[in-house]
Structure formats: structure tokens, C-alpha cells
Amino acid sequence: MNKGRFITIDGVEGAGKSTQIDLICSYLQRKGIKVVRTREPGGTDVGEKIRSVLLDVDNQEMHSDTELLLMFSSRNELIQNKIIPALNNGSWVVSDRFTDASFAYQGGGRMLNLDRIAKLEEWVLGDFQPDLTLLLDISVEIGMTRIEARAAKDRIELEERAFFERVRSVFISRSEAFPKRIKLIDASGTINDIHEKIRLLVDSI
């Protein structure tokens, strides 16, 4: 049996990740490909419990290292219990966020040491990496405007604008450092135009 492919999608809030994942999954399914959709933090029973802790606005005092470790704990659970079994079963896995988000949010946003994050990445992932990462790039301002209508912000969404500017900047640096894997897509266009660009990239792996 053919091994599946692992696609991740990332970017700042409101970049359109969920919107584009809906379209990618439908497109792959129309091609007869089995698709497993997941998200980070979360995606497993244990991971979703970790997500609740991470995004709970009552946990304002959480130490940044704890936040980072919880992201990787959720990730370990997801890789071991969901992603690898699905890929071995021939399914394609599409994940809303993955390790690049830890570099961007905890490294950029929280200003944690990027080398320490890389050590955790090595520990939890080893050589395992997505086949393709779609980085939806949009200005923090437009992203925030898009999600303004939402009822309540989670713990991380409460951060100030400078935090998200640092997040965006690390995402862009990573797309420059790993150009074969991470494809930066201008996410300010129409939903259909963005999907068309993504479709071509997905067809190429």
C-alpha cells in the first residue's frame, strides 16, 4: 500500500486556514484519496484536553515553557496515535497548524529560545516532517479584522498586536529557511484564488 502524505497549514489568526482546509479536504476526497483532518493543539482525546488548558483565559499565569511543553505533548500524542497510523494506512493527513506554529508563537511571540524549541522538535519528531506546509501569509491587521466578529477570544488571542507581528515574522523566516517544504501563499486574495494556488501545490507532492 502507498504511504499517505502529510500536509500542514499555518499562519496568523484569520489567515483563512480552516476555510482552505475545508476546500483541500473536499478536493482530495473528490480525487478518491482517504483524508484525515486534524488540528493542533488537539486532534486526539488527550490533545483536546491539553488544548482546553492552553486556550483557557483563566490560565493567564501559565509559564511560557509550560505552554511550549504542552504544545509538544499534544503534538507527540497526535503524531504517535493519529498521524503515523493514518499515513501507514495510505491516508493523507491535513493538519491545521503543526511545529512551525511553536517556533512562531512560542519562539517569536513569547520570545523563547529557538534552539531550545529545535531540541524539542528533534526529541518529539526525529526526522519526521510534513511533506508540504502551506503558510498563509496575511497582515496582522487584516487577519484580526477577519476574526473580529467572533464572540470571545481565547488566552493566546488576547495577546497584543506586537506579539502577532513577531509571530508573522518568524513564520516568514521559516519559509525562507525551508523553501522546499514551506510554501508561502499571499492570503489576502479571494478564497478561490488562494485555493487554486494551493491545489497546484498539493498536486505536486
Q: Three-state SS for 178?
A: coil
| Among positions 14, 47, 107, 108, the unique one binding ligand Z5A when judged by CB under 6 A | 14
Q: 58-97 mask for ligand Z5A (x: CB under 6 A)? A: -------------x------------------------xx
Residue 19 interacts with ligand Z5A (CB under 6 A): yes or no:
yes
CA-closest candidate to residue 40, choices 140, 141, 125: 125
Could you say whether residue 174 binds ligand Z5A (CB under 6 A)?
Answer: no
Residue 25 lies near ligand Z5A (rule: CB under 6 A): no
Q: Rounded to the nearest whole angstrom, what is the least distance from the CB of residue 33 to ligand Z5A in the complex?
A: 22
101 touches ligand Z5A (CB under 6 A)? yes
The owner of cell 508561502 is 184
Look at the alpha carbons of 89, 175, 177, 50 in this order and tell me if their dihedral is positive or negative: negative
Say which residues have a Cβ less than 8 Å from residue 62's Cβ, sequence separation at least 6.
54, 155
Task: Pick the closest to residue 54 from 66, 46, 37 (CA basis).
Answer: 66
Farthest CA pair distance, the chain: 48
- Residue 85 has phi, psi (to 5 degrees) of -60, -40
In the complex with ligand Z5A, which residue's Cβ is closer, 10 or 91? 10
| 111 lies in the site for ligand Z5A, by CB under 6 A | no
Among 105, 168, 182, 185, binds ligand Z5A (CB under 6 A): 105
- C-alpha cell of residue 49: 484536553
Give whole-number Cα distances, 152 to 30, 48, 81, 126, in Å.
35, 19, 31, 37
Single residue of 48, 131, 157, 165 touching ligand Z5A by CB under 6 A = 157
The reply on whether position 13 binds ligand Z5A by CB under 6 A is yes
CB of 61 to ligand Z5A, least distance (A): 17
Residues that bind ligand Z5A (CB under 6 A): 11, 13-19, 39-41, 71, 96-97, 101-102, 105-106, 146-147, 156-157, 190-191, 194
